[in-house]
């Protein structure tokens, strides 16, 4: 089987897409429950995102949003919040905040071979209380900083 994941400096590349509206962020329960494993929606960059010498990170963002939300969400406004290396899982995340979109989110995310993940919006304080991973807190801090600058 061919490895389709994209790597940079030995790290798996991924995109995090934080949907933000009305002072709330969209979170995913990772298929185990919000009180067990909560994170921002995200996905792995694949080698196919690098075709046509285009911006493969943005390609991956749009592809992953399309896959995760069954083609129901169209991104209208996004801002890149930088890179975040998570050594515990050998990932380099490219973090985006999405502040304007069209469409309706499904109740759950279906991924082949994975348990269904529920998604829901939470306030910043609720999100902080749910997060168990340092990387989630770091991403949330970037979201807070971005919203202060608006």
**Adjacent-strand bridge partners of 17:** 96
Mean pLDDT, residues 64-80 taken together: 96
Does residue 34 have a pLDDT over 90?
no
Query: Residue 118's closest CA among 36, 21, 61?
Result: 36
Asked whether residue 67 is domain-assigned, the answer is: yes
Task: Give which of 59, 56, 81 is closest to 140, Cα–Cα.
Answer: 81
Q: Is residue 1 part of a domain?
A: no
Q: Does residue 13 form part of some domain? A: yes
Residue 32 falls within a domain, yes or no? yes
Mean pLDDT of 36-59: 92
Domain count of the chain?
1
Q: What phi and psi, each to the nearest 5 degrees, are found at residue 57?
A: -70, -45
Span 83-90, average pLDDT = 97
Tell me whether residue 94 is in a domain: yes
Q: What pLDDT is recorded for position 1?
A: 44
Residue 117 domain-assigned? yes
CATH of the domain at 65: 3.90.79.10
Is 65 a member of any domain?
Answer: yes
Q: What is the pLDDT of residues 6-15, one digit of tens each?
A: 999 999 999 9
Task: Inform me whether the pLDDT recorded for 5 exceeds 70.
Answer: yes
Task: State residue 149's pLDDT score.
Answer: 78
Q: pTM for this one?
A: 0.94
Domain coverage including residue 31: 7-148
Q: Is residue 2 part of a domain?
A: no
């Amino acid at each position: 089987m061919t490895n389709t994941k994209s790597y940079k400096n030995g790290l798996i590349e991924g995109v995090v897409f934080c949907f933000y509206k009305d002072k709330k962020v969209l979170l995913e329960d990772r298929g185990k429950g919000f009180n067990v494993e909560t994170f921002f929606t995200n996905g792995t960059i694949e080698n196919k995102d690098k075709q046509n010498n285009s911006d493969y990170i943005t390609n991956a963002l749009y592809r992953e949003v399309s896959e995760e939300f069954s083609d129901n969400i169209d991104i209208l406004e996004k801002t890149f919040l930088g890179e975040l290396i998570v050594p515990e899982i050998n990932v380099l995340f490219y973090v985006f905040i999405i502040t304007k979109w069209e469409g309706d989110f499904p109740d759950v995310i279906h991924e082949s071979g994975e348990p269904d993940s529920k998604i829901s919006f939470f306030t910043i304080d609720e999100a902080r209380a749910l997060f168990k991973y340092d990387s989630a807190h770091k991403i949330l801090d970037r979201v807070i900083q971005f919203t202060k600058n608006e």
